[in-house]
Amino acid sequence: MAPPLLNLDGIKLTFGGTPLLDGAEIAAGPGDKIALVGRNGSGKSTLLKIAAGLVEAQDGEVFRQPSATVRYLPQMPDLEGFPTVRAYVEAGLGPADDPHRATYLMEHLGLTGEEHPADLSGGEARRAALARVMAPEPDILLLDEPTNHLDLSVIEWLEEELVRTSSALIVISHDRRFLERISRATVWLDRGRTRRLDKGFAHFEAWRDQVLEEEEREQHKLGRQIVREEHWLRYGVTARRKRNMRRLGELQTLRQRHRSHRGAEGSAVLVASEATESGKLVIEAKNIAKSFGDLAVVGNFSTRIQRGDRVGLVGPNGAGKTTLLKMLTGTLAPDSGTVRLGVNLEIATLDQKREAADPNETLAHYLTDGRGENLVVNGEQRHVVSYMKDFLFKPEQARTPVRELSGGERARLLLARVLSRPANLLVLDEPTNDLDMETLDLLQELVAGFAGTVLLVSHDRDFLDRTVTSIVAPEGNGNWTEYAGGYSDMLAQRGGKRLDERKARAKATDAMPTAETRPADAPKAPAKKLSFKQQFALDNLPKKIEAVTASIARLEDAIADPAYYERDPVGFQKTIAALDKERTTLAAFEEEWLELEMLREELET
């Protein structure tokens, strides 16, 4: 077995209070590809900085092979002081490194090298930093959230590069599919300590749940053992005659073990405040177009979004996802075409740039809008500290300024504010950035189960597959297409063909004609069949109708019990209300199915 290139053993670090790292370990040998996972705030980035030599541990041993080269990608790269991106990237090369490698990487990452660092967006700065750390092909590559702010096409290209590289990798990422693709081992940082699984991330979650279940059983057994020993101490005949000092010492040891055990971190509680039900039609866009000068961003796009739809928008940065989103929600007027919003719409928006929060405002003031110590969530008055706990904030953080939060904490804070507002249309622009996987799981369940309508922009393929009912993707030249299902379904409908980033990004030189420039008498091609979205709905409505019918039958059986009202009058009234809601849902499903079936027959004749 080859000696490790990097070995961290017994690493301890504390900033006062509970230790951040308490005996953490991680080792990487030649060719290792390790996913470093854990909750936000668990110390993953700190451990990676210790491995890179940027932070010094208070205790423990850090070993790096003297001849090994190490490159570290921070979450916030600093390009200050460099005249161009090329100068920044080439500054990371050693004397024997190939400068053509830097050019190759910049080209594939969508950079020319002549860009000025001050003019770069967050995604472009991340690309430049990736080129800098990957260009020397180091022995050890330490990557902290490499996929943040990257396009889907770049993420997929980066996966292939990292799978092929001979460098030892330690990677922190919230992108499940990315980690599943590149990792061969997983290190879990939990409550200051690390556990290693010699399998890729795809096997991690089942193993983690097994570990936590075993830990819970051990703590339960320890608690019962303490109860038995305390009973013997109080009531045992031998104990009354003379104290057995050995058993007393063992009891004290058991108590100490039980008290010192740090239980698993709690989970966030994500519940959206639902407003009154919107109309059946939520958004109808007809032939909308938008250009900026000669640059066509959206050209002649039409869609019909109904209550309960969850629509995902994908595509590279610069393709116009946010522009299209703003037009669909009525915050940006199209150059041509029409957008009609349904009735009773109440919209809650999560901003991509996380700019909604004043950095000097306290968490409590931000969540309550400065209206005291309480807020109303789902019609229930909650104290702000109690509500903050649902999102894993500590009570003492109520008076903490927003500027002191980490990226993950800020993401949770904005989610807390958005979800406290009554809404029947959620507009989420990159909601998964900076969230840990446990919170992502809960957000996924919330989006998938939301009774209203969701518009979602994301580069997270796994999150899209688990949540949306259709995907809107750019095809180039301002042209957008809607596909039924999630991201994988979109790829299947495209014959496995991925989005071409260069083609999908809007280009001024070959812009499609918009509705303004298209001849008025140009005939439209007649529809030959149902759209993907309509066919998807038609195929799945019978299953929904069957499920709602079964639910109605169960509710009717419950209220048929003559003793039900006397036994639980409140529950009886809730059951009646639930039955009415289910009957309304069934009628809507049947009406939608009938309309689609009639349309299908009309198109086929």
Measured distance between the N- and C-terminal CA atoms of the chain, rounded to whole angstroms: 71
**Predicted confidence band of residue 39 (pLDDT cuts 50, 70, 90):** confident
Closest CA to 26 of 50, 2, 42, 55: 50
CATH number of 6-206: 3.40.50.300
Q: Taking 50 as the threshold, does the pLDDT of residue 523 lie above it?
A: no
SS3 183: coil
324, 363 in Cβ contact below 8 A?
no
Range name among 470-484, 521-535, 566-580 with the lowest pLDDT average? 521-535
The pLDDT value recorded for residue 268 is 59
Percent of the chain with pLDDT over 90: 31
CA 402/CA 557 separation, integer angstroms: 52
CA 591/CA 504 separation, integer angstroms: 37
Is 33 buried (19+), middle (13-18) or exposed (0-12) by CB count in 10 A? buried
Mapping DSSP onto H, E and C, the string for 234-271 reads HHCHHHHHCCCHHHHHHHHHHHHHHHHCCCCCCCCCCC
> Average pLDDT for residues 374-396, to the nearest whole number?
84
The pLDDT value recorded for residue 48 is 94
**Predicted confidence band of residue 378 (pLDDT cuts 50, 70, 90):** confident
Domain 266-346+422-518 has CATH 3.40.50.300: yes
Q: Which residue has the tokens 């900076």?
A: 434
Higher-confidence residue of 155 and 234: namely 155
Instruction: Output DSSP code: residue 305.
Output: E
The pLDDT value recorded for residue 419 is 82
CA 211/CA 219 separation, integer angstroms: 12
**Predicted confidence band of residue 605 (pLDDT cuts 50, 70, 90):** low
CA 315/CA 472 separation, integer angstroms: 9
The pLDDT value recorded for residue 410 is 79
> Average pLDDT for residues 381-401, to the nearest whole number?
85
**Predicted confidence band of residue 25 (pLDDT cuts 50, 70, 90):** very high
pLDDT tens-place string over residues 199-258: 999 999 889 888 888 887 777 776 776 666 666 555 554 444 455 555 556 656 756 665
SS3 296: strand
Contacts of 110 (CB under 8 A, 6+ apart): 124, 127, 151, 154, 501
Query: Chain centroid to CA 45: how far?
Result: 18
The pLDDT value recorded for residue 395 is 86
Q: At what angle do helices 122-134 and 99-108 cross, to 10 degrees?
A: 150
515, 337 in Cβ contact below 8 A?
yes
> Average pLDDT for residues 177-193, to the nearest whole number?
93
CA 256/CA 222 separation, integer angstroms: 11
Burial 408-446 (b: 16+ CB within 10 A, else e): bbbbbbbbbbbbbbebbbbbbbbbbbbbbbbbbbbbbeb
Q: Taking 80 as the threshold, does the pLDDT of residue 336 lie above it?
A: yes
Percent of the chain with pLDDT over 70: 82
**Predicted confidence band of residue 514 (pLDDT cuts 50, 70, 90):** very low
The pLDDT value recorded for residue 247 is 55
305, 311 in Cβ contact below 8 A?
yes
**Predicted confidence band of residue 601 (pLDDT cuts 50, 70, 90):** low
The pLDDT value recorded for residue 239 is 46
The pLDDT value recorded for residue 519 is 40
Contacts of 58 (CB under 8 A, 6+ apart): 12, 13, 14
pLDDT tens-place string over residues 6-21: 999 999 998 766 788 9
CATH number of 532-604: 1.10.287.380
The pLDDT value recorded for residue 508 is 35
